[in-house]
Amino acid sequence: MLARIKEFLGMESKPSDAGEVVSKEEVEKVAEEKPKPKIGYIHLSGCTGDVMSLSENYDILAPLLTEMVDIVYGQTLVDRWDIPEMDIALVEGSVCLQDEHSLHEIKEVREKAGLVVAFGSCAATGCFTRYSRGGQQAQPAHESFVPIADVVNVDLSIPGCPPSPEIIAKTVVAVLNNDMDYLQPMMDLVGYTEACGCDLQLKIVNQALCIGCGTCAMACQTRALDMTDGRPELNSDRCVKCGVCYIQCPRSWWPMERIKKDTGL
Amino acid sequence: MVLGTYKEALSARSTDKQIQKISQDGGIVTALLSFALDEKIIDGAVVAGPGKNMWKPEPMVAMTSDEILAAAGTKYTFSPNVWALKEAVRQYGLEKVGTVAIPCQTMGIRKMQSYPFGVRFVADKIALLIGVYCMENFPFESLRTFISEKMGVSPDLVEKMDIGKGKFWVYTADEELSIPLKETHGYEQNGCNVCLDYVAELADVSTGSVGSPDGWSTVLTRTDAGESVFKLAVDAGLIETKPMENVKPGMGLLEKLATDKKTKNQKTIDDRIAMGLPVPYKASTEKEDPLANY
Ligand SMILES: Cc1cc2nc3c(=O)[nH]c(=O)nc-3n(C[C@H](O)[C@H](O)[C@H](O)COP(=O)(O)OP(=O)(O)OC[C@H]3O[C@@H](n4cnc5c(N)ncnc54)[C@H](O)[C@@H]3O)c2cc1C
Ligand code: SF4
Ligand code: SF4
Ligand code: SF4
């Protein structure tokens, strides 16, 4: 089963040496022997786009959700009010500091979950909820929305508005697989909570690193970026602070080992 | 491995007279993309198409061989081709996209494929990635400045530009001018000075002029996809090849230039790290292979 999912995702590009084959068998063994990981889905202040992206993995979702993991908590997914113990908590949405219930919920999730995953840009970077300034019905006092890492310790961060179905599937497989190398950048991204399209200017162009490749503008999910004279140009009115442009830039971090593994080169 | 992982190295050129006439070197990029389009290996390609200003290219989604042909020739300034990949998939609805990329663009594409954070269903549609060798790239104003001021000719009159034999060349209808590459140093974009990839190490197939005689290209086939399309094009008679051992200056020069670039730029990386400036690569002291691209 895992092999099928990995094949679908192109993760098993080429078993280039014996080591790879062994690890694949190991993975299947682990998947069979280990109890299924318990996963919960926690919905804070987000638009439900992230869970929709998750469910867009329909090709592999049924076996993934029924055979490989146990969903133990989640609105509309599980009929349950109290938060149980779980291995992985996928948290969508930012935390509203004026909403006592959200603060309580995220703290309880932290206590009950092995891994807390900031799932989607609202949870990871604050994303468009960063622009909130209150004054809206039905809760006019709700004005401060922060990424969950501002309030609790987070283990993995998967930004994206929403994250692509592929990165979700790859991450879930990597977690099941204990593939820490793949997950490392997502652990590193936990600290990246003040994202903005202007990061390209500050951290790449100003630092003499930009090479005008256009990856950032391709990745921007809101078309906030143009390429002008070979450099990204931000239309800040369109930017939702998802952080994806900077994260996809080949000059922010560079996962050569993984790329070599994926391409077989 | 200074040239990255590759299956085969060959000297090659397109057998098509029209491609030979307007392409930069052996016309490998144009020949392979058109062939892949004809054979439905790809259903469109992102190329550095002609912009409003002849030497200032713009990424273009080419849907026909004619459009691919119209983009032939090297423009020594930015064409953010990666930008147009999403357009090719979304607006043009392509399922199998071909593209041409300089090494840094190849790196952007491969990173996006391995970690497609916010990039939905584009990664799996890249069917053919042709990489071209690259020592450096110039901002458009740099290019204009040294061509008009140092070479004394209006860029508008220039019909072809080339780098070779240690010089930067421009060709007009009736003149052939050159300056030593030394004189263009300092005009290149700064980001190139930390670049460790000369030969597009992560492409499906890489090509460039260095190593082969004028009018020919040096080709490195890398992935199964790259090898397969190249072999098919050779079998179809669209590309002719010679073993690298039989051509001058040969692999030695390619290896030398790739090593020079990596050594020089690794030093810049080390200096940056010593100053506390960010750079996504490792210091030489942390690397097992000083010539590796990380
Ligand atoms: C900035 C730059 C620096 C280079 N430096 C070297 C070098 O040091 N040594 C070496 O051997 N070769 C170098 N090359 C590669 C070489 O100039 C040719 O592009 C290569 O040999 C392909 O020739 P061809 O006849 O097969 O391609 P053609 O059939 O002429 O097609 C060229 C293709 O390149 C694309 N292209 C043109 N300009 C750009 C651009 N700026 N960015 C992205 N794509 C572009 C076009 O869309 C076209 O599809 C460089 C190329 C560039 C763009
Ligand atoms: S992705 Fe990074 S290097 Fe490429 S154009 Fe954008 S900022 Fe520049
Ligand atoms: S520019 Fe685009 S990708 Fe970058 S943070 Fe803003 S919305 Fe996100
Ligand atoms: S030298 Fe490197 S960074 Fe500069 S344009 Fe060429 S491939 Fe890109």
Pocket of ligand 1, beta carbon within 6 A:
B 23-30, 47-48, 57, 71-76, 79, 81, 100, 102, 132-135, 137, 163, 207-210, 217
Of residues B108, B112, B223, nearest to A264 (C-beta): B223
Mean pLDDT for back-to-back runs of 10 residues, chain B (294 residues):
96 98 98 98 97 92 97 97 98 98 98 97 97 97 95 94 94 95 95 98 98 98 98 98 97 98 98 98 96 96
Q: What pLDDT, on the 0 to 100 scale, is given for residue A33?
A: 60
Residue ranges of chain A with per-residue pLDDT less than 50? 1, 4-5, 8-9, 11-24, 26-27
Quick one: which of A196, A221, A189, A188 has its CA closest to A126? A196
CB B201 within 8 A of CB A244: no
pTM for the model stands at: 0.94
Return the best residue to mutate from A225, A226, A228, A247 for the ligand 3 pocket (most ligand atoms within 8 A of CB): A225
Tell me the chain A residues in contact with residue B294 when contact means C-beta distances shorter than 8 Å. Answer: 254, 256-257
DSSP A201: I
Closest CA of chain A from B74, distance in Å: 16
Give the phi and the psi of residue B44 in degrees, each rounded to 5. 170, 165
**Is the ipTM here above 0.90?**
yes
Return the best residue to mutate from B37, B132, B262 for the ligand 1 pocket (most ligand atoms within 8 A of CB): B132
Q: What pLDDT, on the 0 to 100 scale, is given for residue A19?
A: 36
Give the number of other Cβ atoms within 10 Å of residue A25's Cβ. 10
Tell me the chain B residues in contact with residue A256 when contact means C-beta distances shorter than 8 Å. Answer: 292-294
Of residues B81, B139, B294, nearest to A254 (C-beta): B294
Distance between Cα B73 and ligand 1 center (Å): 7
The 3-state DSSP class for residue A118 equals strand
**CA gap B234, B247 in Å, rounded:** 18
Pick the residue from chain A with its C-alpha nearest to B202.
Answer: A265
| A256, A257, A261: best to mutate for the B interface, most B CBs within 10 A | A256
Return the number of CB contacts < 8 Å for A and B: 165
**CA gap B197, B103 in Å, rounded:** 6
pLDDT tens per residue across span B200-247:
999 999 999 999 999 999 999 999 999 999 999 999 999 999 999 999
Kindly write down the DSSP assignment for every residue of B201-267, as one continuous string.
TTSSEEEESTTS-TT-EEEEE-SHHHHHHHHHHHHTTSEEEEEGGGSSS-HHHHHHHHHHHHHHHHH
**CA gap B161, B76 in Å, rounded:** 8
B188 lines ligand 4 (CB under 6 A): no
pLDDT tens per residue across span A231-254:
999 999 999 999 999 999 999 999
Pick the residue from chain A with its C-alpha nearest to B137.
Answer: A211
Of residues A165, A214, A263, nearest to B81 (C-beta): A214
C-beta atoms of B108 and A213 within 8 A: yes
